Structure 1
């Protein structure tokens, strides 16, 4: 055998030993896994992780709820504006319908009423009652 072949055989053996050592370390870690997982620090970390996840979910929920309420507020303001517009239109319609000239004209036209003559008008004075 040449020097090159011996070196490759030697390096192959060292690679095999390294691989065996890695497998041994992995198996030891896996065998020791149940023992090392349930210590106090791991439980504290898991508890803090749960609190962190709960806090994150509550932030997401409150943001969503806030946006939903803001959308509802915007819809209610729009509804209020529509009602105010309708109220203004109804006030205009009421003032137009209750105008004295319109009432007088309707009374003359539909009820055959007329204004009394000045000699038929009597003034009645109350004594404070």
Structure 2
């Protein structure tokens, strides 16, 4: 090489990439990227659906337990039970008419 000249590498004619080849390469990479995105999205969707099913089962269990607790509360707080406990354990009774006093201001 002569001094002062800059050598520029040139592809051999048969190895020179054409515009169509570059475009095809870019499109291939874009397709691969889209395929990987579809795979990742499908995986996340399956995981989230499994979590949703688990939460729905838990909700059904809690709903059943809530219903049982409401029934139990109704049984424990029934007026007949409270009256029976008051008379048995606390020896309470309804006052006779003569024992009732009305207080007026």
Q: 2 CA distance for matches of 1:60 and 1:33?
A: 40
Distance 2:100 2:81 in 1: 22
The answer as to 2:29 corresponding to 1:50 is: yes
* 2:43 is aligned with 1:64: yes
Q: Which has the higher contact order (CA 8 A, sep 6+)?
A: 2
Q: Deviations over 1:53-100 (max 9, x none)?
A: 011111111111111111111111111110110011001000000011
2:50 paired with 1:95? no
Q: Residues of 2 paired with 1:71 and 1:107: CA distance?
A: 52
Change (3 A) 1:123 1:53: farther
Q: Which runs of 5+ in 2 are unaligned?
A: 1-10
- Matches for 1:1-129 after TM superposition, within 5 Å: 32=12, 35-36=15-16, 38-121=17-100
Aligned residues: 93
Q: Which has the larger radius of gyration?
A: 1
RMSD: 2.5
Task: Give the unaligned 5+ runs of structure 1.
Answer: 1-30, 125-129
Q: With structure 1 as the length reference, what TM-score do the two structures score?
A: 0.62
Alpha-carbon offset, residue 122 of structure 1: 6.2
Task: State the distance in 1 between where 2:88 and 2:46 align.
Answer: 59
In the TM superposition, what is the alpha-carbon distance from 1:117 to its structure 2 partner?
2.1
Which range moved further: 73-82 or 112-121? Answer: 112-121
